[in-house]
Amino acid sequence: MTRLVVAAGQAVPVVGDVAANVARAAEMTRQAAARGARLLVLPEAFLTGYEPRAFEDADALPHEDDLAGDLLAPLRAAAAAAEVHVLVSTPLHRSDGSVTLSLVLVGADGAAHAAYDKQHLDPTERAWFAPGGPGTSVVEVDGVPLGLAICYDSRFPEHAAAAAEAGALAYVVSAAYLEGSTRGRDVALAARALDTGTYVVMAGALGECGGVPITGGSSVWGPEGHLLASVADDDGALALAVLDSDVVAEVRTRQTMHVDRRRS
């Protein structure tokens, strides 16, 4: 049996103020650790805010070369002190000049690296970001393999299926659901859990995007699509749950869609 306590966190970021948002992420890391979490997942574009005016100046965005430097130093120190892993999303200026919408993994040892780039960009995002390359990103935290996704990725069943095929026991989604899009959130994420037999962890952004409220709703679903933990629109809230490999194994003996899926 392998178990992992995970916290899906949400908070209102300061638009365009990376330093303030890194400090808030560090504070939430300490809060998650105090509640027994070993992994904290934060929402889409948390380090800048999910807001067009924060994306327009590519030169002002976090650069991949800064991940091991001063940019994330408070968060890296908090993760190391609390022995908590953190997945935080940010626009990321890459060395080749492109900008991706990425998930950065800050390890419990304080090391940080870009772990995943969003593959499925919605039409508005294509003005600012390049899509990540094809394939699956699975990282391991305390022996639990986690498939990574950012928001719109989760609307494509094959994306979660590929993560499960690669061994993921949970599908971890950093997201920003604007008002009016929550139906898709609630249906798609429960479905991804059920059709892959994995946990789904979603950290939902708060704030506004172009004047439209962003809805939060951070949640964890079990491998049969049951809601295990959820928060509404509270600033600084954490949805906590235990991911258990034995539960995944037992569910997959009864719900066999992950192996019955035709591959050609």
Question: 3-state secondary structure string, 69-104?
Answer: CCCCHHHHHHHHHHCCEEEEEEEEECCCCCEEEEEE
The answer to whether the CB of 176 falls within 8 A of the CB of 214 is yes
- In whole angstroms, what is the distance from residue 261 CA to residue 158 CA? 10
Buried b (16+ CB within 10 A) or exposed e, 222-257: bbebebbbbbeeeeebbbbbebbbebbeebbeebee
Q: Is the dihedral of CA 78, 80, 83, 86 positive or negative?
A: positive
- Nearest C-alpha neighbor of 255 from the set 229, 222, 212: 222
pLDDT at 184: 81
pLDDT at 11: 98
- pLDDT tens, position by position, for the chain (264 residues)? 799 999 999 999 999 999 999 999 999 999 999 999 999 999 999 999 999 999 999 989 999 999 999 999 999 999 999 999 999 999 999 999 999 999 999 999 999 999 999 999 999 999 999 999 988 899 999 999 999 999 999 999 999 999 999 999 999 999 999 999 888 888 999 999 999 999 999 999 999 999 999 999 999 999 999 999 999 999 999 999 999 999 999 999 998 887 888 776
State both tokens at 217. 């709703």
- Nearest C-alpha neighbor of 221 from the set 245, 243, 249, 251: 243
The answer to whether the CB of 76 falls within 8 A of the CB of 23 is no
pLDDT at 162: 95
Which residues in the chain belong to E strands, given as ranges? Answer: 3-9, 39-41, 85-93, 99-106, 112-117, 138-141, 144-150, 170-175, 199-204, 206-209, 212-215, 219-221, 227-230, 238-244
pLDDT at 89: 98
- In whole angstroms, what is the distance from residue 7 CA to residue 21 CA? 18
pLDDT at 172: 98
pLDDT at 264: 66
The answer to pTM > 0.85 is yes
Residue identified by tokens 């807001």 is 51
The 8-class DSSP code of residue 178 comes to B
State both tokens at 114. 């870009």
Torsion angle, alpha carbons of 19, 24, 30, 35, to 10: -160
pLDDT at 258: 77
The 8-class DSSP code of residue 182 comes to H
Q: Collect all residues with Cβ–Cβ distance below 8 Å to 115 and sequence separation of at least 6.
A: 87, 102, 103, 104, 105, 137, 139, 148
pLDDT at 260: 83
> With left for phi above 0 and alpha for psi between -120 and 50, is residue 142 left, alpha or beta?
left
What Å distances lie between residue 41 and 65, 149, 150, 204, 235, CA to CA? 22, 11, 11, 9, 15
